[in-house]
Chain A
């Protein structure tokens, strides 16, 4: 008997994942716990194991598709017998047997009060995919409503994007084929078979114009779904034709739509939270680092002999740690709930890394306890793995202060956004020769522009300046680092 397997919640609060690669093919025999797919979420890439022994009957998505948690991704032919889940489809006409959802493993019962179970049915939420926030993980009414809203957002996004395409080009000119307008209801009744057709055609039932009502709710049948899908496809074809005509002609595509997903969206949300929560102040200064440049020049061959490439970063990390020790409020976090500032007596320094997928911040833990070569080595490893995307979520958590080296690409000053809930972030401009006034003369010196953003709720500008001065002192007199 065919059994549907839904994309599980592969990480805390993850709403969707991209099928990076299928590890099985249709017709393959699988054993329980054998990985069937690699799924990338906005947090990490994980392997999804098969919950069954059996055969893969159907893979429901292509590689590269973004799939909401709870969507059926694989249909298995399961060995032996299974239990039917009590999942609900009120309107119920035909072909029922095929679409029975699968019960979780024994012992994996869902704990939710009857009123919450009823609400889940009304909102068409699969309780098995909801993580409960109540005592011991009991599912509450709020959890179900949140899950339903999450799904509604997905649905809206899908509707905007329909038909699914990674990048769809939209010509702003009017198109000849008039698509049926998306109805955009909150709730639609339909037979399971109709729901299946809608899913196959990538149509959101809530967008299909409803010809009839049942019990005051819009009711949609299969023919309406097909008609809507056709009209959408016709519109899409017209779009494509218009785009192609435009490209071959003069106007060209004027806009491109790229899904706001995954790591990009995570970064966006994190930045939004930081910037709207912590009032930022950015302090700018410049360190004259001739001496540091000399030291590095001298040590470079030594380091090479030891097998590592010596950059300025490990020195800067050490200088920052020295500064943090003297100015502990820079290495803190505001506990808003308890109205306390948490001063941290450990120094986990995050290093912002630009990757193809976006910004990532691997963390060097206990940087105060590590030597310069150790920091250099660890940093190289973390950065490499961040770029390869093989870094784990844990390695990007627990930072107490962050460094962002935008100068590696170029530029002098910036206004970095704090890696919330930390209190401060130090941005490094390009380390290069710049004119410096010295004893009445302008001379060329190696300089490092510093941009320090702080959370003004926790500290004031004066403290920021003092911290910057300390860091600067260490950078300008690197021999002081020997005492650290």
Chain B
């Protein structure tokens, strides 16, 4: 136990032990750097504790139940009972296994782990306040620092998370019972993923979205597949409305929304889940002490090595520009650790893949057709519907498609959009193709196992080349 204020020195201080910070720490440890990883809450950060991992555990668990419950066509008649407590405890077990694994890996790689909240106390100096009474604080003098503090859910005025009726994604992942009804504010990927989970558990879900469709940033034909399935699951969509307030009324609460014309609507519900996005966490760091300022997006500008405007101070993950994705943070963490070790490393990736674990899943990487055109390419597009995939039909899920965007002249693969079963897994092949500078022909000429979903990727490439076998070539 450390009591009072003591001072230690480190070559590399990393603030935040999420998928950016802990990966940077392990890589730095591998490279022989004296590294200190500071975490105020839980090893593994949001991703492992309150985000990706627990949500995927619940998605899978509810899918098992839902599949069993809806497989009469396959001749399966089940009487499914869900024990939410047991499901939660299984999920917690997965999380515990991973987070303790992270802690062990860090220690095995010589990473000094410090629990506490860090803030800058001047150039080269961090003050870490340890949690709990009498734990004191310490000063860490660093040569290099990585800011990896991640993000938190955005709160909207009037919907503060301190009420038992207003849930953040973190709260939804920790429910001990399933509400009968739920209003979800925000049709982005977090709102859609968890809406799907709750709808499959029998909750009456209404999604309120300010824009006129779900999943901003995705193409219409991609969204359509997910929205249609969500509607089939009984999710109601209210587009063009924004939540303005809520109040308790009897046993229920009532959420009031407004549309652009000023009309208001009321929704009686058990709870309201606010999922309107995430914001970087920089306000706890006292950045003034090192003259560092976030940009207009609230992020820290970085160069190709991840370094901020302040020498020796790097930013990775959700506090750095770019998509807020765990795997992007991890890549940045590795690169920065290597840069600090003097390796010729750089953030030179061509594309960051993304997955949405809705039903069906979405996997995307690289450019859309429109983006390719904007970048000056002449794109050629190949598409293969999952309804033509033998394997997709045998899973009972044949909605969606694989689409590949390539440069017409050279055949280089530029991007892909997949919506359908296992899209999150299928997209990896196309990510590799893009990074490798593979061409459509490279993918088309690679033998893909039959019968698998991955054949759809091959056929999409063939379609772009005008010779797909199992779909008509346009």
A interface residues with partner B (beta carbon < 8 Å): 84-94, 96, 100, 105-109, 111-114, 117-118, 121-122, 134-139, 189, 214-215, 217
Contact = CB atoms under 8 A, between A and B. Distances in A.
A136 B412 CA distance: 8
Contacts of A93: 311
8 contacts: A86-B347, A90-B305, A92-B305, A92-B339, A93-B311, A122-B344, A136-B410, A215-B342
Nearest to B305: A92
B403 to A, nearest CB: 20
Contacts of B436: 113-114
B345 interface: yes
A86 B348 contact: yes
A335 to B, nearest CB: 28
Contacts of B305: 88-90, 92
For B341, B344, B410, which residue has the most chain A Cβ atoms within 10 angstroms? B344
Contacts of B412: 111, 136, 138
B346 A114 contact: no
Contact of B377 (A107, A117, A139): A107
Interface of B: 303-305, 307, 311, 339, 341-350, 374-377, 409-412, 435-437, 439, 441-442
Nearest to B441: A135
Nearest to A110: B437
A88 B344 contact: yes
A117 B335 CA distance: 13
A86 B304 contact: yes
Nearest to A122: B344
B342 A88 contact: no
Contacts of B377: 107
A105 B344 contact: no
A96 B305 CA distance: 11
Contacts of A136: 409-412, 439
Contacts, number: 80
A contact patch SS: loop
Contacts of B341: 215
Contacts of A90: 305, 339, 342-345
A91 B338 CA distance: 11
A443 B412 CA distance: 75
A315 to B, nearest CB: 49
A84 B303 contact: yes
A139 B435 CA distance: 12
B376 A106 contact: yes
Contacts of A92: 305, 307, 339
Identify which of A85, A107, A134 gathers the most chain B CB atoms within 10 Å of its CB.
A107
A189 B311 contact: no
A105 B376 contact: yes
B187 to A, nearest CB: 31
A66 B377 CA distance: 34
Per CB-CB distance, the 7 closest pairs between chain A and chain B, nearest first, are A107-B376, A111-B437, A136-B410, A121-B344, A88-B346, A86-B348, A138-B437
Contacts of B375: 106-107, 109
Given A111-B410, A112-B437, A118-B345, 8 more contacts: A88-B304, A88-B344, A88-B346, A92-B305, A107-B377, A114-B435, A114-B436, A139-B437
B437 A86 contact: no
Nearest to B304: A86
Contact of A121 (B311, B346, B435): B346
B250 to A, nearest CB: 56
A135 B311 contact: no
Contacts of B411: 135-136
